[in-house]
Amino acid sequence: MPEPYFAPDQLDETGCPAWITEFAGTEYDANHMVHVVRDIYPAEALELLGADPEEIRPCVLPTRDPGEKTSLARAAIHPLNPIVVLIAARIGEWTFIYDDLGETGCLWHLEQQPPVDSTAALSTKGGVAATAAVSITGHIGFTYAVDGDIKVWHSDRGFEATDLENDAPAEVRAAAEAAGTIQAEPDDGITMRMICALTGLPRTMNELREIPLLIVPHESRPYLFG
């Protein structure tokens, strides 16, 4: 077994990476999403998700009181108050996008029926993409796509590495193993740990603050995982 990607003190009580919990804030922690895509840059990824390229700008994350309810992304874009706030960054060969309300699971702005899955769409540009989500329904989601084809999809109230199909890609299996298991019941943070382990995302908020970030308001039609 590989060493766990996160140390115990880098996780919250549900097993979610603490920096993602800090990003969410208590008002939004029931519904948020992280996309990752390989080999495309943050501005292009944000545009693919429906963001207006003219509204994308650099972001410096503010400090705030621990009890503040609003998401850190929303605090960073204040005084604007869009439906959704997206923050993106390039980390190694991957771009990650944080959605503070979990509404960009589909490309609603394309107005297609059925709606285009965002992970699949991102992967047509970057070759590989994945999404981890936590929804207000209690479901946790994980999607992994290659060249527009979804290879792994999960949306349920629990998840373990053993739930992966036998033909699941090797890097997804390795990420599930590195995500490890914790004592929390249910383990609501496993898919967020998986996406961090898959792509080498930060382990702490201080690490994230050292990376150049982009921010953009987003007015997408709501989409809730599950």
The C-alpha atoms of residue 221 and residue 219 are separated, in whole angstroms, by 7
Tell whether omega for the bond before 186 is within 30 degrees of 0, i.e. cis: yes
Query: Using 50, 70 and 90 to split pLDDT, how confident is the model at 222?
Result: very low
pLDDT tens-digit series, residues 175-206? 999 998 887 667 888 999 999 999 999 999 99
pLDDT tens-digit series, residues 158-175? 666 656 767 788 899 999
203 neighbors 19 (Cβ within 8 angstroms): yes
Judged against a pLDDT cut of 70, whether residue 107 lies above it is answered with yes
91 neighbors 105 (Cβ within 8 angstroms): no
| Mean pLDDT in residue range 125-148 | 90
pLDDT > 70 fraction of the chain, expressed in percent and rounded: 87
Number of domains composing the chain = 1
| Within a domain: 3 | no
| Within a domain: 224 | no
The C-alpha atoms of residue 37 and residue 113 are separated, in whole angstroms, by 24
How high is the pLDDT of residue 220? 59
How high is the pLDDT of residue 120? 96
| Mean pLDDT in residue range 141-148 | 94
Entry field: residues in the chain: 226
Least-confidence region, from 29-38, 87-96, 132-141, 158-167: 158-167
Helix (H) or strand (E) holding 46: helix 42-48
| Within a domain: 2 | no
pTM for the complete prediction? Answer: 0.90
As a whole number of angstroms, the longest Cα–Cα distance in the chain is 48
Mean pLDDT of the chain: 86
Question: Tokens standing for 53?
Answer: 């390229």
Higher pLDDT, 219 or 48: 48
Residues with Cβ within 8 Å of 73's Cβ and at least 6 positions away in sequence, in order, are 23, 85, 86, 87, 98, 100, 215
The C-alpha atoms of residue 224 and residue 133 are separated, in whole angstroms, by 9
- Which residue range is the domain that position 141 belongs to? 8-218
Higher pLDDT, 186 or 84: 84
| Mean pLDDT in residue range 43-55 | 95
| Within a domain: 39 | yes
Least-confidence region, from 78-87, 148-157, 216-225: 216-225
212 neighbors 55 (Cβ within 8 angstroms): no
